[in-house]
Amino acid sequence: MCWRHHVELQLKQIIPVLQELPGSTSQPLKNTHDISKLWEKTRNLLQQTGLEDSFLSHLDAAGQVLLQLHKIDPNEEVFRYPVGTSGTSNRSFNNLHMRVFHETLEKVAGLLDAVHAMVEDIAGNME
């Protein structure tokens, strides 16, 4: 649950910085915990910055991890509660290898930290 929340917050930090860059055609994103929507918004905004395709391909690999995380826990309750608000069991992650999960999310979070620093630097150089 902590990793899911962490990457959600990272995306929510990156998006506003990207939206402030010149040429951004993005509308504000409604409040959401939906990692797939947050990732889609982030990826589209990053595409608008003109980053190299090779860098974007690395981000797409991280994006696939985020989309898998969203698939496991789409509404931010599976990792927190044994039974969802709909009354169904939230045990869809019983076969999750915790060490691999942790190591993978650690790498994704590190990449998102680098992206955040990069877009902050780009925004700072445009002032």
Tokens found for residue 47: 């595409």
23-57 burial code (b ≥16 CB/10 A, e <16)? eeebeebeeebbbeebbbbbbebbeeeeeeeeeee
| The two structure tokens encoding residue 100 | 């691999």
The per-residue pLDDT for range 111-122, each reduced to its tens digit, is 999 999 999 998
pLDDT score at 53: 79
- Residue 15: how many CB atoms within 10 A of its CB? 19
Which range scores top for mean pLDDT: 15-29, 32-46, 75-89, 91-105? 32-46
- Chain centre distance of CA 104: 13
pTM: 0.81
Binning pLDDT at 50, 70 and 90, where does residue 17 land? very high
**Mean pLDDT on 90-117:** 85
